[in-house]
Chain A
Amino acid sequence: MLAYLIVSGLTTGSLYALMAIGLVVVYKATRVVNFAHGELFMVGGFLAYTLHVLVRIPYGPALVAAVAATLLLGLVTERLAYRPLIRAPAISLVLAAVGFSYVLRGTAREIWGGRGDYIPFPPLVGAEPIAVGDVVIVPQQLVVLAGALVCMALFGAFFSWTRAGKILQATAENPRAARLVGIRVERVYAFTWGVGAAAAGAAAALMAPLTLIYPDVGAVLLVKAFAAAVLGGLESLPGAVLGGFAIGLVENLAGGYLHTSLQDVSAFVVIMLVLVAHPSGLLGAARVRRI
């Protein structure tokens, strides 16, 4: 039971982590929590479904195309909901993102909602579990976990080793200094929203075979991803990954060993305890003010 709960928790946690990465990327650069992030995830899932199931494109290319399309959608979000309000109070930006999330949800309902409440995504590999001694391994979960880890590695490599990634990080650290050295900050912001959305798209395309897709799926996952990001420190990409895995594991272990009624609440109890002990999150830098 323990091994199975851990594998399952890590799989779900990896998807929370991917979503949290998207939130953190946008927050680091713009100081705005993108409340439309869940809906970008949802659109990513529906796009993967459309390409893989309806258009019958193989899963790999469908995933890449869904990620690319959500990246574009992220750019559109930035153009419509963020850039016009760039100098407005933070609350206006939050409201704009919430409004845009409703637009996306309504649009998805118009396009895909009529097909039924919940749309299934076919499994990527055989459904039969493999027994290794006492441990039962479900191939589907391993594939999704591996896919999520690869995506995280790619995001990590992008931020650490590519020029675009470094520009993003530099702008996030200090937009004024970035502008002084010739970086076109507005363009970077747009790209940031795109990259954040792409992370949500990747998470959705990977999660789709494990769950069902419906226009409201993003709202629940946004809460979990936000919790993961906060747990990790909100500004730390490794923290978001750690937070996602931690939430996935805590949920499953609490559900399995304590009671299933504690599954949802357990992760938030842990977050509360962590934040009380370490207010900046697991890997967040403590804010020090010199007097």
Chain B
Amino acid sequence: MPTVRRFSRCCLLALAVLALPAPAALAQVPGVTGDTILIGSFGPLTGPNYLFGKLVMNGVEVVYNEVNKQGGVNGRKLVLVREDDRCDPATAIAAVKKLIFQDQVFMINGGGCSNAAIAARPEIEQAKVPWVVFAAVADEVTLPTSPYIFSTALAASLESYAQLDFALSHGAKKVAIVSQRDAWGRSRYGPLQEAFKKKGIAPVADEEMPADANDGTAQVLRVRQAGADAVIMLLYPKAAAIFVRDAQKVGFKPILIGQTALSDPLAFREQVGVPGALDRFFTVNQMRYTPDDPQVEKWRTLVQQYFPGDRLSVYNLFGIGSAQVVVEVLKRAGRDLTREKVRDELARLTGFETTVHPGPVTCTETDHQCHKTPAWIQLVGDKIQLVAVTPVQR
């Protein structure tokens, strides 16, 4: 009799276990448990480009931590897994492989450097893991459109179009280009040429300057000789600082138009080091606010709280905005989470306002470059002022 009773109990227990459908379903979704969602991130955590990885991820983590404090997304806490790609394509491939196959993350919120992100793209695409790019801006990261890849960073091509629009809207008649022709520079230079063609005009001077140039004399003299009244700079801060400094030396003062690599005018002014050199300098900010804006006080405090010693930077803001998009689509995808649901929610995210983007974040089935509203800023005295927020189209 006791044996029969024990057998009956075992059968009942087995039936009860079989009657629970949730764990069986969840086990099929990588990175999702009953109370957590594993989200992977990759970008440079070390080396000279750590700003595009470590700081952006710090911003992401601040948002996830705050969401977790409120109970998480649909009852699940968000757990961020970081991988260092050092901006190196080969390392980035290894990093995403580890995230997808070893850590088994549910989705990815990362990609700091364009070259590394481009290299990582096929792995992510093949594994059908939703990926929200947070900082890499080269068009090749998001084009051709892949069902699982979306970006909250302003694409390089859109910035180039915006630069020319800005020059012309400020009355420039003779626009020159000074560009570095590495992968980063070419990802902007090509679209800028297209933008010129579409407007039916040509640059009056088209000069090259290496990213590590120590002298911009030749470039400055050629652009001045061409009579340019606006110069579009597709340059990293160092080369741009040398160009602006050398232009100032010979008294050449056109409208200087920067892009997101120069989105910290205070730091840029310090690098240029010549008073008044930035009086006619305008640049793109991917975010509506600069780190010292009172509007981002909450984030400033939280970044310092979670990462003592860090000062809020624009790179933190990239991560904050991107993480808010991730949280929103996870919410919309509901408790019964699948990668396909997240993909579909991303593809119909329309007019979503983060607390940091200059305009609404909008993705469609065919357009996964979801950030299309650059903010234009200028340094006035010691204050960075918002000059314009202008949606841009190719």
Contact = CB atoms under 8 A, between A and B. Distances in A.
Interface of A: 1, 4-5, 8, 11-12, 109, 113, 116-118, 120-123, 127, 129, 136, 138, 140, 207, 210-212, 214-217, 220-221, 251-252, 254-256, 259-261, 263-264
A117 B207 contact: no
Contacts of A5: 217-218, 221
B274 A207 contact: no
Given A117-B238, A120-B271, A256-B222, A220 B212 contact: yes
B305 interface: no
A60 B236 CA distance: 31
A208 to B, nearest CB: 11
B219 A255 contact: yes
Range of interface residues on B (Cβ < 8 Å): 20 to 34
Contacts of A210: 214-215
Interface of A is mostly: helix
Contacts of B272: 120
Contacts of A109: 47-48
8 contacts: A1-B225, A4-B250, A117-B48, A136-B249, A212-B241, A252-B218, A254-B218, A263-B208
A136 B215 CA distance: 16
Contacts of B190: none
B251 interface: yes
B270 interface: yes
A1 B221 contact: yes
Interface in B270-292: 270-275
Interface of B: 47-48, 51, 181, 207-210, 212, 214-215, 217-219, 221-222, 225, 237-238, 241-242, 248-251, 267, 270-275
A42 B181 CA distance: 25
Contacts of B242: 211-212
B151 to A, nearest CB: 23
Given A256-B222, A260-B208, A120 B270 contact: yes
A259 B49 CA distance: 30
A256 B217 CA distance: 8
B237 A117 contact: yes
Given A211-B215, A212-B241, 10 more contacts: A1-B221, A5-B221, A118-B237, A118-B238, A120-B271, A121-B273, A211-B242, A214-B48, A255-B218, A263-B210
Contacts of A207: 214
Contact of B218 (A117, A118, A216, A260): A260
B222 A136 contact: no
B212 to A, nearest CB: 4
Contacts of B47: 109
Given A212-B271, A220-B212, A129 B238 contact: no
Contacts of A117: 48, 51, 237-238
Nearest to A11: B215
Contacts of B251: 129, 136
B241 A260 contact: no
